[in-house]
Structure 1
Amino acid sequence: MTPDGLTVLDGGDAPIRALVLDADPARRGDAPPLVQLRDIARPIPPAPGWALIRPTLAGINARDLALLSSDRTLPPMGAPRPLPMVPGSEVVGVVEEVNGTRWAREGQRVLVEPNAGCMIRGFPTCARCAAGEAELCENRDRPSVIGPGADGGLASGGGWSEGVLAHEEMLIPADGISDQRGVLGVSLAAAIHAVLRWNRRGDRVAVIGSGTTTRLVIAALRRLHPDVDITVMVDARGPQRTGRRRRKLPAHLAVDESSVARALECLGAARVWRGSPAQLLDRTAELLGARRMIVAGDDLPVLDRGLDAVIDCRGTAASVALGMRLLRSGATIVVAGRAGRLELDWSALWSRELTIAGSGGFGREPAGWRTFAAVREWLTDASFPADSLVTHRYQLDAFSTAIATAAAGEAVGAVKVVFEAPSAPFRQRRLAVDTELPVDDTAAPMLLAATAARVRRDDEGGG
């Protein structure tokens, strides 16, 4: 039986497969939900302007992992979606079916911007959507008046499947962009927006983190501010630590710190540091010639001539506290990680007149252009360094390994982990169901012939 609330259902059509997040009936309280691979009814575009997208690659991000772990310190964005649901908001795919679209056509490769504002979800336009800030929509906590199909689209997940709904206004042509670059669109948009949240005053910036967002923030900083000096500070409590104790990993899982540093430097970092907060503060003071200012009752100093900006891609209490200590007076920390309930000493905020800027989405930037317009331009440019960020690909039925790999991250050499969907279009598989004949995938229209996924397989097969 298809779970209620996942999609707008059409019981007369061939099903699709999806990774469904559902409550565990055998457990109570705050137990993490279960993930299962199920057959569900094919989503139907609920109104004119909507399209059914067949994902070719769908990413796993921090929001997805938070949903899987029932992390209540990280409330999801968008309209609340009761279980069962399908996660996944990072998608590059192919238009499979349309309902009254103006330009989107079946067979077209697209990126998807997972912002569904008032117009898309059937509400009168709010002030934020009128300003082009759909990610801040004042109606995002309300179920769509169109129906569950509008809320079940990529505005709040659904990409871990063989079919997901998206409105035409959320689609961007992917001509000239490989799948392995296109699936980074959401992460790149978030990185660009985070960099633009810093109203530049100065030349020295630190980025805290080492994952996908960190790497794209470095690349975005280098592209938008070619002359800026970038220091990357990998979290002192890195992937080999849990809680207060260091856990020794097997040799084949140990972090190759030198390769991580080289990768970050290739993206534009001037230097990559690891260490405790005290060590990172000392190294920054030496680099800048800053004086360490000791506050009574505090174990760690603040820097009197510190950095001009910190972009924190972790969003933990430790990383935010470190970021504020690294800054000069009057500087800015951009919190681009998914921070939740943090217990911090905020005295430095007012005493040193720091600015904290949150960065949780993207839409229209202050200069008036759409963030995804830059995403398309940058990903089309072969010189933009994004080809190495997708490190692991899995079929939907290997979801346990995929999720574990994404959660382990740097400890297993993972940056962006993605799901690969079958390349055969739905219409071919529906024909197979109707006729009870097998479908020869090699005879199906090769809509993805130019994608990186196809090229990689050809290279592997041809030596």
Structure 2
Amino acid sequence: MKALLYTPSLPRFFGARLLGKRFPRKLLPLRLAEVPLPEREGFLRVRVRLSGVCGSDLALLYGKSPPSLSPFFSFPAVLGHEILGEHEGALVAVNPLLACADRGLPPCPRCQEGEEGLCQNVAEGPLAPGMLGYNRDLPGGWGEWVLARPERLYPIPPGVPEERAVFAEPLAVVLRGLNKLKPWPEEVLVLGMGTIGLLAVRLLRALGYAGRLLAVAKYPHQAERAKAFGADGVYGSAKEALLARARRYRYLLFEGHRGGYEAVVEASGSGRGFREALALAREGGKVLLLGAPGLEVVDLSPFWFKEVALWGSYTYTREEFREAVGLLPELEGLESLVGGVYPLEAWPEALVAKGKALFRPKG
């Protein structure tokens, strides 16, 4: 089958890390290749209808992923973990996790608790380390077919457009994170209006959050969409948001603040966003990381000086994934986040698309 294969290269890794998006796309360690589709007992063949380009995929390609995660992935691999598939004529969202049960192992303590996203055996058993999209033994969604066990397939509710249904996986990530903010605070600030930030705004309202919901958006079109999704107000920058709520103090060349927001959701996935979120949180406030900033230098003083609490959200339980799929019918407008649908051959254009880029393999 045709697929986009990622093969690590240290020179290209350092080049991409140094130059970022200026690094020539043709030199990224990604190529269109003919890849054999493996057979594995207990796994079903699922035809890929759509697969999303996630921020974590871009971080990997541009050398921004933390090295400490590398033992829990395996390459070369067909990327793509946001997968809408077709099995026996029905549309299904594919849960890409490969936990103990998928690996033919007895359940670890976390899997016994239902927390498969925190499985302790993601690098154990007969399967290579990593989930679909980061696994050398099983291809991800940037190819024509994937393999998944039956319980990893979630039927899409009738009437849901494909370009909305493909958001099931990132919705599950956001859903898990937002649930950690309960009991709901009176006010939430979402920092970063990319796909994850806009999903957070939309999902908060869909879950019945009635408090004050604010956002920080870099671009005017993001601000408009945030308001359409339920934001009460939008700031043009983190600095603007900080000055609107916090008191500023100066000593010599240094600046500090008191006050801020009860809960801050960091959705940009950048180190700068992480630092800004810590500054924006009020004393005793909460910061929820939905992005993945990786290796960054961060002032840790807010954790003790302001007693800020930090939460993270990486994957999900089966129940959270099922709940995310069940919410799709009422999340009208998510498809507006799609910036383009591309064949596999057009991957250089997809990686720089504005808005959410999707691959539509044809097999």
Q: Give distance in 2, aligned partners of 1:161 and 1:419.
A: 9
The letter for the 2-side match of 1:229 is R
Match of 1:231 in 2: 214
The 5 Å alignment of 1:230-309 reads: 230-234=213-217, 257-275=219-237, 277-285=238-246, 292=247, 294=249, 296=251, 299-304=254-259, 306-309=260-263
Map of 2:357 onto structure 1: 417
- Name whichever of 319-328 and 263-272 sits farther off: 319-328
Change (3 A) 1:40 1:231: same
- Cα offsets for 1:206-245 (capped at 9, x unmatched): 00001110010001111224311111113xxx5xxxxxxx
Write out the 4+ residue segments of structure 1 that deviate beyond 4 Å after TM superposition.
74-78, 154-157, 295-298
Q: Secondary structure at the match of 1:36?
A: strand
Do the aligned partners of residues 72 and 187 (structure 1) sit closer, same or farther apart at CA in structure 2, a change above 3 Å counting? closer
After TM superposition, give the deviation of residue 73 of structure 1 in Å.
Answer: 2.8
Residue deviations 1:311-351, cap 9 Å, x none? 00124333222222222221101011102122122222112
* Pair 1:202–1:35, CA change in 2 (3 A): closer
Spell out the pairing of 1:174-193 with structure 2 (5 A cutoff). 174-176=156-158, 177-193=160-176
The size of the alignment, in residue pairs, is: 348
Where 1:329 maps in the other structure, the secondary structure is strand
Structure 2 length-normalised TM:
0.88
**Aligned position for 2:150:** 168
SS of aligned partner of 2:352: helix
Tell me the residue number matched to 1:35: 30
Tell me how far apart the structure 2 counterparts of residues 129 and 202 of structure 1 sit (CA, whole Å): 30
What is the SS of the residue equivalent to 1:388?
helix
Q: 2:73 maps to which residue?
A: 80
Letter in 2 for 1:30: F
- 2:54 is aligned with 1:61: yes
Q: Which amino acid aligns with 1:63?
A: S
Structure of higher RCO (CA pairs closer than 8 Å, 6+ residues apart) = 2
Change (3 A) 1:309 1:23: closer
Q: Equivalent of 1:335, from 270, 286, 289?
A: 289
Residue 291 (structure 2) pairs with residue 363 (structure 1): no
Task: Label 1:29 to 1:217 Cα distance change in 2 as closer, same or farther (>3 A).
Answer: closer
Which segments of 5 or more consecutive residues in structure 2 lack a partner in the other structure? 17-27
- C-alpha distance after superposition, 1:391-435 (max 9, x if no partner): 211011111111122xxxxxxxx221000122xxx6xxxxxxxxx
Give the SS at the match of 1:115.
coil
Which has the larger Rg? 1
Alpha carbons of structure 1 residues 24 and 342: separation in structure 2 relative to 1, 3 Å: closer
Give the structure 2 partner of residue 101 of structure 1.
none
Contact map agreement 1:53 1:166 (CA 8 A) in 2:
yes
Structure 1: runs of 5 or more not aligned: 1-15, 96-105, 239-256, 286-291, 365-369, 406-413, 427-463
Equivalent residue for 1:387? 335
**Per-residue deviation, residues 423-462 of structure 1 (Å, max 9, x unmatched):** xxx6xxxxxxxxxxxxxxxxxxxxxxxxxxxxxxxxxxxx
Rounded Cα–Cα distance in structure 2 between residues aligned with 1:188 and 1:77: 25
| Backbone CA RMSD of aligned residues | 2.4
Structure 1 match to 2:275:
321
For the Cα contact (< 8 Å) 1:194–1:217, is it kept in 2? no
Question: What SS is found at the alignment partner of 2:140?
Answer: coil
- Distance in 1 of aligned mates of 2:35 and 2:274: 42
Distance 1:85 1:56 in 2: 19
Q: CA deviation at 1:298?
A: 6.8
Indicate the residue corresponding to 1:195 in structure 2: 178
8 Å Cα contact 1:21/1:87 also seen in 2: yes
Amino acid at match of 1:61: C
**How many angstroms does 1:28 deviate by?**
7.0
TM-score of the superposition, structure 1-length normalised? Answer: 0.70
CA distance change for structure 1 residues 215 and 58 in 2, over 3 Å: closer, same or farther?
Answer: same
| SS of residue in 2 equivalent to 1:43 | coil
Name the residue aligned to 1:404.
352
Q: SS of the counterpart of 2:244? A: helix
Following TM superposition, by how much is the alpha carbon of 1:201 offset from its aligned partner in structure 2, in angstroms? 5.3
CA shift digits 1:170-224 (9 cap, x unpaired): 1101241321111111111111112112133531110000111001000111122
> CA-to-partner distance for each residue in 1:256-303, whole Å, 9 max, x for gaps?
x4332111100011111113x443311234xxxxxx152656744323
